Amino acid sequence: MTNQPYDGYESYDGYDGYGSYGQQQAWPGQGNQGYQGNQGYPAYEDPHAAQQYTQQWQGQTWETQTHQPVSAPAAAETAYLPQQGYAAPAPAPAPAPAEVAEASGPAPEYGPPSLGGNTRVTDAQRARAEGRSPIIEPGMQPAALTALLGLLLAGAAAVGTYALLVPLVVLQAVTAAGWFRLNGMWPARQGIALGFAGALAADAALLASGRSPAAILGTLGVWVLLALVLQLRSHADPDERMYGLMATVAASALAIVAGGYLAADADAVTVGAVAVAVAVLARALPLPTVASVVVALLAAAGGGVAAGSLTGLGTSGALLGAGAAACALIGHRVASYDYPSRFVHFTAGVALPLAGAAPVVYVLGRALA
């Protein structure tokens, strides 16, 4: 064996490649000291002699003296290292209430705790808690539209029956739509279409029967049965079907009953429509509720007298005007229920006063004619 560097694949002299040595060999420069035996692995007499032999290796080796010793990291450096293993990560700390309030904006207000949990405070509930009325009246703009539609009815009635159909059909359509929206059901196209179709059927029956009031009652009965059948075929929940049935029947009934203007005497329609227009405008004035109701009734009576003087009713128009105004104010109050939306004011708030006054106009018109 020579002192040439080890090239990685050069075998030792005497080594047969199968794990055993042949003839007796010695390390260069050392003779036979510390290495004995013809077979097997070498045996060292001095335990420290192996260290001397290992230092005499002259081949290419890895340099181990240039590497710095690896020391354990300080505890501060490993304080935020993630936990090893399969343990679940620790939950993030909960944000402070100020941070939540800043991120989510103003916190919603809730009512007192109850068995059903906290409920959101509505505008109507807040008004009741503060001692205010939860009722918001339609205001002057819907009242002006009601007065305009009432004057159109009055003028069309003076012209003729078929002229009266134009504003009457508009009134019936707005009545059906407004009632569904007032009950929180929108768009509810099927129910609105059914109620409006019942109104058109009643108008056709009135014209075909010579303006007989029996046509209104017959159409109303048929439409209640039709609404019942349609709701029974619905796949909605029982409570929802019942709610839809009541809304559909009520909308159809109001729209059909509004056809009473077509069955009433023409002079009674003129007086009653004028009285409703005056009463609604007076009710929209910024007055206390009781005062505005009294003013509205007095104004309607005066408007009935004025319109009766232009027709054949005369002073009896005051009674007709006051009766029509009383029913109109009821419809106005219904449209003001518990913070209704602006759309309710411009549909139900416009139509319900005139639709509610139609039966009184027919009955008192027949009695006073």
Q: Which amino acid is at 313?
A: L
Q: Is the dihedral of CA 277, 282, 286, 289 positive or negative?
A: negative
The model's pTM? 0.65
Q: Within a 10 A sphere around the Cβ of 352, how many other Cβ atoms?
A: 29
Q: What pLDDT is attached to residue 208?
A: 93
* Alpha carbons 235 and 198: distance in angstroms, whole number: 24
Domain range annotation of the chain: 140-368
Q: What pLDDT is attached to residue 126?
A: 79
Give yes or no for a contact between 350 and 149, defined as CB atoms under 8 angstroms apart. yes
Q: What pLDDT is attached to residue 100?
A: 47
* Alpha carbons 329 and 297: distance in angstroms, whole number: 9
Q: Which amino acid is at 105?
A: G
Q: What pLDDT is attached to residue 250?
A: 92
Nearest C-alpha neighbor of 273 from the set 369, 182, 167: 167
Rg (CA), the chain: 50
Mean pLDDT by 10 residues, the chain (369 residues): 45 42 44 44 50 49 50 51 52 56 52 52 74 83 95 93 94 92 75 91 93 91 89 78 86 93 93 95 92 95 92 89 95 84 87 94 89
User: Strand locations in 66-122, DSSP E?
Assistant: none
Q: What pLDDT is attached to residue 236?
A: 74
Q: What pLDDT is attached to residue 320?
A: 94
